[in-house]
A = this chain, B = another copy of it.
């Protein structure tokens, strides 16, 4: 795939996250204005309510009868609910209007400089599920907690292991995160204490957004078709709260403080040219989970940490293709019991760790449980996140002379409540 050239020059720059091939969907506000839906293109945002106001995006062919205008909402949920046919129709129409050679006039009036916009939550999260699907991550964590022989739980190579998270705690890039308090108990303490977490961590993940509801088990191909798009996701994790609480029913408050997502929904359509195969299977997957084609994406990812007032250091670089299970396999498994899925359900991929030390997706792994602190470019060391640190995740699929970027997924950690 090559760059689709646009009459918006900044969209043709090889280093923009938002060429015409991308067209990700977001929600933004300008100073003193209401939330608005927008599409990123180069260094601009297309202000969709403005297009509507100017008489566009409301043609009978575009908006199905009996629906509110999906471009005048505060999230992309209503748009998603119109279904994959409508998603394709809109993307094709927009691609045509923005292509080099098209008449720019009606869109030009609705362009807003991205630098002036505040980016907001792009969709309402119905429910949030988090998975555990990188073999390297599961092996690393398992080795630390249970020893190398028992690193991978016996079900891991058969089930895309997941647990339900907390949708109310999902926030967008740029939101500060207050260090959680919780019950902590050291190995030499008889009873726990209620204290600020000392082992607060990030987890580098991708989030898949369900755009089509379902009411019973769905096939892998349907699951692939039902995923509207992807964001980068930081599943903030309090390792010490988790260690004490997680037996026998799994992580709960350790994961409930916040989950940060990048502000632009990069559609599955934009990522289509970057599909890659899942890895070879050690055991055949059960029929309903068996790969039907390339189901992962080749997306480079990185995480940087910046102590308060200082430059950032990139501390890991990995790729979404490292996963053992695709988000479609996770979604199929999620529905296998008959669990209904709704528009706006968010599925976290699980921490994305590669095979090397430098490609691990969490400080827990990077510092090997705190035993091997990282040295940052500033000379400071880190085992876990300290107050004032900003964690920034970035990612992009890289084509020939262009990139499908996600924007950034950043959050600063503030001291615990006193």
Binding site for B on A (CB under 8 A): 126-127, 132, 153, 155, 158-159, 161-169, 178, 180-183, 185, 191-194, 216-217, 238, 241, 244-254, 256-258, 283, 286-288, 333-334, 336-342, 345, 417
Q: Which residue of B lies closest to A183 (CB)?
A: B159
Q: Would you mind naming 18 contact pairs between A and B with Cβ atoms under 8 Å apart? A: A126-B167, A127-B127, A127-B167, A155-B247, A158-B183, A158-B192, A159-B183, A163-B249, A163-B252, A164-B166, A168-B339, A168-B342, A181-B217, A182-B337, A192-B286, A249-B250, A253-B336, A256-B338
Chain B residues positioned under 8 Å from A217 (CB to CB): 181, 417
Q: Distance (Å) between the CB of A397 and the closest chain B CB? A: 29
How many copies of this protein are present in the complex? Answer: 2
Q: Which one, B193, B246, B251, B334, contacts A253 given CB within 8 A?
A: B334
Q: Which residue of B lies closest to A177 (CB)?
A: B338
Question: How far is it, in angstroms, between the C-alpha of A317 and the C-alpha of B245 when the chains are bound?
Answer: 31
Q: Which residue of B lies closest to A167 (CB)?
A: B127
Question: How far is it, in angstroms, between the C-alpha of A100 and the C-alpha of B295 when the chains are bound?
Answer: 68
A246 and B245 within 8 A (CB): no
| Contact residues of A: prevailing secondary structure | loop
A340 and B169 within 8 A (CB): yes
Q: Which residue of B lies closest to A342 (CB)?
A: B168
Chain B residues positioned under 8 Å from A166 (CB to CB): 127, 164, 339
Contacts known (A181-B337, A337-B181); A250 close to B158, Cβ less than 8 A: no
A250 and B163 within 8 A (CB): yes
Q: Which one, B153, B192, B244, B258, contacts A338 given CB within 8 A?
A: B258
Q: Distance (Å) between the CB of A196 and the closest chain B CB? A: 11
